[in-house]
Amino acid sequence: MTFSFTRRPLKAFRLLGCLCSIFCFAAPTWAQQDIPPVDVKATYQKTEAQVPMRDGVKLFVSIYVPRDTSKRYPILMQRTPYSAAPYGPDAYRNSVGPSQTLAREGYIFVYCDVRGRWMSEGEFNNMRPMLNQASQSPQQIGEATDTYDTIEWLLKNVQPNNGRVGIWGISYPGFYAAAATVRAHPALKAASPQAPIADWFVGDDMHHNGAFYLLDDFTFFSTFGRPRPKPTTQGPPRFDFGVKDAYRFFLEMGPLANADKKYLKGDVAFWSEQIQHPNYDEFWKSRNLLPHLENVTPAVMIVGGLFDAEDWYGPTHIYQQIKRASPATHQSFVFGPWCHGCWARSEYSSLGDISFGSNSSKFFQEQIEARFFDYYLKDEGSNDLPSIYAFRTGLNDWKKYDQWPPANTQTRRLFLQPGGKLGFTAPAAGGQQYDEFVSDPAHPVPYTNRVALGRGVTYMTEDQRFAARRPDVLAYTSDVLKEDLTIVGPIKANLFVSTSGTDADWIVKVIDIFPDDTPEAAPAAQGNARFQPMPLGTWPAPPLAGYEMLVRGDVMRSRFRKSYERPEAMSPNQVTPVSYTLWDVHHTFRKGHRIMVQVQSSWFPLVDMNPQKFVDIYTAKESDFQKAIHRVYHTPKDATNLELMVLPE
């Protein structure tokens, strides 16, 4: 199959502003046309309870038991900081479980407010540090012990259960699902961490390679981070930005220190804690889940999205860690062409204007997710899920592998060359040595061409021609490909750069350029669709001839090029190697297409502005921000390149 394109307005996702997708998928709505959705109230009996933990704190649970009690059912639970609502024994959810498929399969569904959130007692701790050893003291608690104690209570008090428990969750609930596998309860037989958070400094949500993801962090914590003094059914009020343009809001806000002074007023504890920990110290390391994932006993199915704007680092690295530290674990890794949590939709066949040719979310729910839980919790079906089930963009097909990345790859280097060229041969001697641009913190490069407050998800595949036209974005383009080229796994960017300042951010974007006469453009061009009037707030279908599709982009903060723990200034105007990883891809550049690499030094306000001066960015003053001249080198000695893992066709 090939990409097809249709005219469709964007639907902006909001979670507390830009992270809306987490809430959206906590209680999805369904509109399947072939089978009516499950009538939850008619099918299930709801009860509520306060479950005591080992330290005496009680956690709220909402329980849905099938009204047909003629047989025993496994328990499938979700632990969430986003509310087990609706509250009250007569208030029912519109849907239960991960999907309508599983809602029909016969499960006891349990939703639990985690410690310190909503109707649960105790104190909430963001990404609560894991215990280093099995807890013996009632005062030693963590997400794993809270899960263990909840399961123990459910098995004794919720009937008719069959003695088996599963857990799933998307995003933050995905973190709790992964944490549940640490010294797991013996009855926990299956866990599906979906878009799970693993490390908030290196790769998920709040930081990428040490660079601060301003838009997500502020939008999320300005509401989610408000204090909750006691159990409640009411959430905090949403932060009022006062404008509809995130670029304008954050540019006018100025340095990060102004966020607290102008808006948060010391009322968001986690924001205040973050600014005291600008480097990868114990505050962040203790919240890294990965080192604790060993001797995992439940079967695990990790789920991720190739176009997940929030948590793509977590799924890939949790998979790798369990594979290394717990090789006997029955583990599968499934990823599709999804945005954050989009596999939980009833229909997902496109992102923005890009069609993937089929309803990949329904395929996942029916053919993968339901079969996983049915097998491990009900002994139904067969255990034939491959180790890796991966959707390949570009060709729009599903592939099965024994491991990720696949074993039979070849490493090829894609070199930046003089004259804006890009190729698989190193630059020759005697040509232009570098390209340069001026990076101005007062006029940063936007991460999207849209004018919107919420981040949304479509920037993950957005046409990058708007950026290539800027003088502070360098663009390098390959010749037309003579055959298909499939790249898999992480991309390593090896930069040789300099700056007139003492710090800089480096954003590298890998782009698929469609031919000027591409047949894929035909559907969108019919009826001159892209020139029709559109309502305000929507984004028109791109002119697909020559479309520059973002395949992957990511950022590196130069100060962390050697160590996240011990940042180091750059020496002005000195050529410096800066290497970092762009997270995994599974994409085919088709014959007749070209590859582009763009290099820039701002991606605003997705990433906060670097002052381009080696100071504490969290406390920097306006006078610390300065223009800087950045250079990217492409000589035989300093040959900037990307390491690609190429899969033979």
Tell me the domains of the chain and their CATH numbers: 4-198+289-401 (3.40.50.1820), 215-283 (no CATH), 410-647 (2.60.120.260)
**Locus of tokens 């297409």:** 593
- Nearest alpha-carbon partner for 596 in 553, 538, 535, 632: 553
Distance set, CA 454 to CA 20, 21, 536, 604 (Å): 9, 11, 15, 13
Strands (E), 152-233: 161-170, 188-194, 207-208, 211-212
Is residue 262 classed exposed, middle or buried when 0-12, 13-18 and 19+ CB atoms within 10 A define those classes?
A: exposed
User: Within 10 Å of residue 242's Cβ, how many Cβ atoms?
Assistant: 9
CB-based contacts of 43: which residues, under 8 Å, 6+ apart? 66, 67, 103
What token pair was written down for 22? Answer: 């987490």
pLDDT score recorded for residue 134: 53
Calpha distance 535→479 (Å, rounded): 38
Q: Write phi, then psi, for 619 (nearest 5 degrees).
A: -115, 10
Convert 520-550 to b/e letters by CB count within 10 Å (16 or more is b).
Answer: bbebbeeeeebeeeeeeeebbbbebebbbbb
- Nearest alpha-carbon partner for 604 in 466, 464, 455: 455
- Nearest alpha-carbon partner for 187 in 211, 204, 163: 163
Calpha distance 388→336 (Å, rounded): 11
DSSP letter assigned to residue 308: -
Calpha distance 14→193 (Å, rounded): 22
- Nearest alpha-carbon partner for 64 in 46, 38, 77, 76: 46
**pTM for the model:** 0.91
pLDDT score recorded for residue 8: 32
Write the DSSP assignment of 335-391 as a string of letters. EES--TTGGGSS---EETTEE-SS-HHHHHIIIIIHHHHHHHHH--S-----SEEEE
pLDDT digits (tens, 9 = 90+) for 136-180: 566 789 999 999 999 999 999 999 999 999 999 999 999 999 999
**Locus of tokens 């794993």:** 144
Convert 337-361 to b/e letters by CB count within 10 Å (16 or more is b).
Answer: bbbbbbbbbbebbbbbbbbbebbbb
Distance set, CA 596 to CA 187, 481, 636 (Å): 50, 12, 21
Q: Which residues of the chain have pLDDT under 70?
A: 1-34, 133-138, 518-543
pLDDT score recorded for residue 396: 95
Calpha distance 66→159 (Å, rounded): 10
Calpha distance 227→246 (Å, rounded): 25
